[in-house]
Amino acid sequence: MGCGTSSATKDKKSEKALKAALVIQNWYRGYSARLKTRQRYALTIFQSIEYADEQGQLQLSNFFSFMLENYTNVPEKEPGLVTRLFGSSIQDKDRQDYLGLIEIPDSYCGPRLQFPLTFTDIDLLIEAFKQQQILHAYYVLEVLFETKKVLQQMPNFTHTNTSPSKEITICGDLHGKLDDLFLIFYKNGLPSVTNPYVFNGDFVDRGKNSMEILMILFVSFLVYPNDLHLNRGNHEDFMMNMRYGFTKEILHKYKLHGKKILQILEEVYTWLPIGTIIDNEVLVIHGGISESTDLNLLHRIERNKMRSVLMPPIPMDGDRAEKKNKLGTATVALGIRTSGSFSEQLTKQEWEQVIDILWSDPRGKRGCYPNTNRGGGCYFGPDITSKILNKYQLKMLVRSHECKPEGYEICHDGKVITVFSASNYYEEGSNRGAYIRMSSGTTPRFFQYQITKATCFRPLYQRVNAIESSAIRMLKERMISRKTDLIRAFQLQDRNKSGKLSMGQWAFSMENVLGLNLPWRSLSSHLVTTDKDGNIDYMSGFQDVHIQKPVKEVQSLIETVYRYRSDLQIIFNIIDSDHSGLISMEEFRSMWKLFKSHYSVHIDDSQFDELAERMDLNKDGSIDFNEFLKAFYVVHKFDQLNKSDTKLI
């Protein structure tokens, strides 16, 4: 009897232990799911703001057309400006004009390349960059000239074949993340005849090591031109580089010869192929397709005429002509003849075809419709994918262009794969990177990774909190840049002048002004205070953040300069052709008036004139605009980065 009692007791204990384990398991699953949801919400904020910035960048194309029409005597005053913006090619320059006066001093301790390049140089370069050494400008220019020379011999789409014993590796966006490239090569091996690669665009911008990535890829390409394939992305574009960091990186690392590097790099970009076709079955392009994608036409176009996606073709007949461009807005452009520089540009149809290839994104909805988030390209559904693949006897589309939490994503019944190779793209721990290995007749294999440094020792909930906090900071900066517009929208809803709105009214106003397509109701607890009745104090969203400004001016002017500071910096950098950082007071005022007119900015000229006078600190008639724009930044009164209770749900 004693044995029976003991056995029953053990069974009860086992049952309790099992129930406890199930309770813990269910709790942990729910906890993990909540963390994942919070992380997904944070990524949604990052992505919405990123796409809104890209939309603003693409809208600059309309401004430059407007500028050419309205900037008084621009062809006579600034022929170089016109050619740079709208010319499709610049004359070949003698290599000696760039390299002749550059000497490599004996004190230089960085890598020394030997031309013609060999596998040894790839290894040498990688080891030097791991030691954070800088490649001398002489070698950078040599590599750029040699790369351009080889690229000029290549077709618009490179064709390559695989076999069961020779797989090919496809990498997506790297965006200056050098550690990710090192990890890929560590896990997957260096490029070689037996280990071919496709790098699918967006090598540069955002990250701090774009130059190092570009040099490794270009040197590898020169050693293995038939086994390393480089596709152009939407960031292989000198105008995009001005906004997203690569231009600044070059000028910082190469203070003496940065201008020369930028000039040649602009040409190299134009010669990058726009796609790769593997085994006549798999199309690899950076962005996507549209219902009108014509691969036959894309094979024939002169790709070097596409200097920038921001510069659409303009009419050549000298007449005013209204056109609806791929960015979805009507523009009026004036054809200007300047020594034949405009005779070498893509047609409007060709330009739109390339825009679709570089900027489009897949969606689950059928059909093809404008890519309203990015402002360029289109969204294409599974029916469009099937239509285009069937038309050209292809089986699969591999593209990049979008950050994915797991580094890759499969959609459209397995016919479209997105691969993104920059881990921690938005923030430490925000996403994994991935690459694909495939060969003829086999299923693609995916390899994921994530560079971990400080974050690897922190619990998951702390990493998610850090990502959330960063996302909320960005969102609040977006709000403060539109403070006047938001308050006006709130007050229109607040008919009783109570200072409060319902959740629905507040969410409607936020979306109507900011246009970020975010779940405002879920985010409200992190942006504003709510009373016991569920009403929102809409001014509370601005209490802990303000724009630091170098001068005391009216609030609307400060907000406008902050909101458009990236656009203004690009415009002024375009005018500043010698990269001195200075432009004349007259040019500054003229460009502002055009900008204000085109963007419908309601600021009195006298206010901006007074601001311009204050910017000319030494009263020499020139303005250091980069330093001025840098002085406008957002101050967060309560920094929540270290708060552990920040949650998006």
Pairing type for strands 168-171 and 228-230 reads unpaired
Q: Which value, to the nearest 10 degrees, does the dihedral of the CA atoms of residues 488, 494, 496, 501 take? A: -140
Q: Which parts of 597-640 are beta strand (E)? A: 622-624, 633-636
The answer to whether 207 touches 178, Cβ cutoff 8 Å, is yes
Rounded to an integer, what distance in angstroms lies between the CA atom of residue 230 and that of residue 356?
18
Q: Which parts of 577-617 are beta strand (E)? A: 582-584
User: Is 188 exposed, middle or buried, given 0-12, 13-18 or 19+ CB atoms closer than 10 A?
Assistant: middle
Q: Other C-beta atoms within 10 Å of 100: how many?
A: 9
- Residues near 361 by beta carbon (within 8 Å), at least 6 away in sequence: 287, 288, 371, 373, 374, 377, 379, 380, 401, 402
Rounded to an integer, what distance in angstroms lies between the CA atom of residue 95 and that of residue 101?
11
Q: What distances in angstroms separate CA 196 from CA 153, 216, 221, 438, 478, one per listed residue?
A: 19, 15, 10, 11, 43
Catalytic positions, written as ranges: 235
Q: What angle do CA 334, 340, 344 make, to 5 degrees?
A: 85
Q: Which parts of 375-483 are beta strand (E)? A: 378-380, 396-399, 408-411, 416-419, 433-438, 445-449
Residue 245 carries which DSSP code?
Answer: S
Q: What distances in angstroms separate CA 381 from CA 291, 368, 413, 415, one per listed residue?
A: 9, 6, 11, 11
Of 526, 424, 541, 547, the closest CA to residue 472 belongs to 526
Q: Give the amino acid at 597.
A: S
Helix (H) or strand (E) holding 389: helix 382-391
Rounded to an integer, what distance in angstroms lies between the CA atom of residue 510 and that of residue 527?
11
Output 183-191 pairs: Cβ under 8 A, ≥24 positions apart. Answer: 183/433, 183/449, 183/451, 184/421, 184/435, 184/449, 185/126, 187/447, 187/449, 188/435, 188/437, 188/447, 190/119, 190/122, 190/123, 190/126, 190/220, 191/122, 191/220, 191/223, 191/224, 191/227, 191/228
Q: What angle do CA 90, 93, 99 make, to 5 degrees?
A: 140
Rounded to an integer, what distance in angstroms lies between the CA atom of residue 568 and that of residue 566?
5
Rounded to an integer, what distance in angstroms lies between the CA atom of residue 397 and that of residue 393?
12
Q: Other C-beta atoms within 10 Å of 95: how many?
A: 15
Rounded to an integer, what distance in angstroms lies between the CA atom of residue 87 and that of residue 74?
14
Rounded to an integer, what distance in angstroms lies between the CA atom of residue 15 and that of residue 276?
60
Rounded to an integer, what distance in angstroms lies between the CA atom of residue 566 and that of residue 475?
17
Calculate the CA 173 to chain-centre distance: 9
